[in-house]
Amino acid sequence: MNVDSGRVQDLIRAVTFDLWNTLIENRDYTAQRINFLSAKLEEMGYSFAKDDLTEAFVSSLDYVYRVWETENHRFVPNMERLEYILQKLKAQVPEDQKKEIVTFFEEVALKDPPPLIKEAKGVLEYLRSRYQMAIISDSGFTPARILRKILQKNGVLDFFVVTVFSDEVGFNKPHRMMFERVFSRLSVKPSEALHVGDLLHTDVAGAKAFGMKSIWLNKEKERKAAEAFNPDFTVNKVCEIIEILNNIGQQEKPV
C-alpha cells in the first residue's frame, strides 16, 4: 500500500466507488452478444462469417473510445453502437428487431451475473455505518437498470446513498457531470470524499479534477503508470482502503 506524503486536509465523510473490476468482477459477454446478433441476422436472411461479425462488434469498441476521446467523454447509447455495427456489416434491420437485439445485449448479464470481488461485501458492510457511500460507474453495454439489479442480487444496493451510471448521465468518467450527479445527493463537500477505482484516466483523473481524494486500485501492481495522475493513495486490494480510512480518521482527530 502506498500513501501520498501530502497531508489529507479534510476529514473523509463519504466514499465513492467505481463498479467494474473494483466491486464486481469484470465479466465478458461478447460471445453471447455476437451469437445472438448472428442468429437474428440469419433470421433476416443474412449470412456472415463469425470472423466478420466479431470484427464488426469489436470495432464498435474503437468507435466508443473515439467518441470518448474526441467528444468530451460522451456516452455512446447502445442503439447508436448497434447501428455502427450494422453499418459495418451493411445490414438493414427493422427498428423493432434493433430494439430486440439491444435488449438482449443489455440484459444478458442477468443470465450469469458478475459476482462481487471476493472481499468487497465485507468492506462495504464495514464502511456503511461510518461513511456515506455512492457508486460512480461507466456503463458500457450493461445499463444502469441492469447494474442496479446486479447490485441488488449481490445484496449491496441499499448500502449506497446514490448510484450514478454513465448511460443515465450521458457522459463517461472523467467528465465532471458524473461526479456532480453524486454530490447533488451527498451532504458533503468533494474535499470530504474519497473515490476508489481501478482506472487512472477515468477514476483518479475525474476524482482529482473534482476536488476529491482518490485511491487507485492497482491490481496488476504496475510501477510507473500512476506518475502522470498522482493518486492520493494506491492499494492492490479493495480491503486495504479500510486501513487508509482509519489512518485518515486518526490524523484528523482534534488535539
- Extents of the domains making up the chain: 2-26+114-252, 30-110
Say whether pLDDT at 240 is over 70: yes
pLDDT given at position 34:
98
In this prediction, what percent of the chain has a pLDDT beyond 70? 92
In angstroms, the Cα distances linking 185 to 163, 165, 190, 192, 232 are 10, 14, 12, 14, 24
pLDDT given at position 9:
47
* Cα–Cα distance measured from residue 165 to residue 135, given in angstroms and rounded to the nearest whole number: 8
Say whether pLDDT at 25 is over 50: yes
Say whether pLDDT at 252 is over 80: no
* Cα–Cα distance measured from residue 215 to residue 204, given in angstroms and rounded to the nearest whole number: 7
Contact 147, 161 (CB under 8 A): no
| pLDDT band for position 249 (cuts 50, 70, 90) | low
Say whether pLDDT at 200 is over 70: yes
Average of per-residue pLDDT values in the chain: 93
Cα angle 31, 22, 227 (rounded to 5 degrees) comes to 110
pLDDT given at position 219:
85
- Give residue 66's Cα distance to chain centre: 18
* Cα–Cα distance measured from residue 160 to residue 147, given in angstroms and rounded to the nearest whole number: 13
Q: 45-92 pLDDT, tens per residue?
A: 999 999 999 999 999 999 999 999 999 999 999 999 999 999 999 999
| pLDDT band for position 222 (cuts 50, 70, 90) | confident
* Cα–Cα distance measured from residue 246 to residue 242, given in angstroms and rounded to the nearest whole number: 6
pLDDT given at position 167:
98
pLDDT given at position 173:
98
In angstroms, the Cα distances linking 212 to 69, 169, 241 are 23, 19, 15
Say whether pLDDT at 3 is over 50: no
pLDDT given at position 221:
76
* Cα–Cα distance measured from residue 13 to residue 44, given in angstroms and rounded to the nearest whole number: 55
Relative to beta strand 2-3, strand 233-235 is: antiparallel
* Cα–Cα distance measured from residue 175 to residue 69, given in angstroms and rounded to the nearest whole number: 11
* Cα–Cα distance measured from residue 218 to residue 17, given in angstroms and rounded to the nearest whole number: 14
Say whether pLDDT at 155 is over 80: yes
The edge-to-edge listing of strands for the beta sheet with 213-217 is: 2-3, 233-235, 213-217, 193-197, 14-17, 132-137, 162-165
Q: Which of 56-70, 221-235, 236-250 has the lowest mean pLDDT?
A: 221-235
pLDDT given at position 92:
97
* First-residue to last-residue Cα distance in the chain: 27
Say whether pLDDT at 253 is over 50: no
| pLDDT band for position 8 (cuts 50, 70, 90) | very low
Q: Tell me which residue of 13, 20, 18 sits closest to 173, measured CA to CA.
A: 18
Contact 178, 185 (CB under 8 A): no
pLDDT given at position 7:
41
Contact 47, 91 (CB under 8 A): no
What is the rounded average pLDDT of the residues 158-167? 98
Q: Does 3.40.50.1000 match the CATH number of domain 2-26+114-252?
A: yes
pLDDT given at position 228:
80
pLDDT given at position 4:
46
Contact 106, 57 (CB under 8 A): no
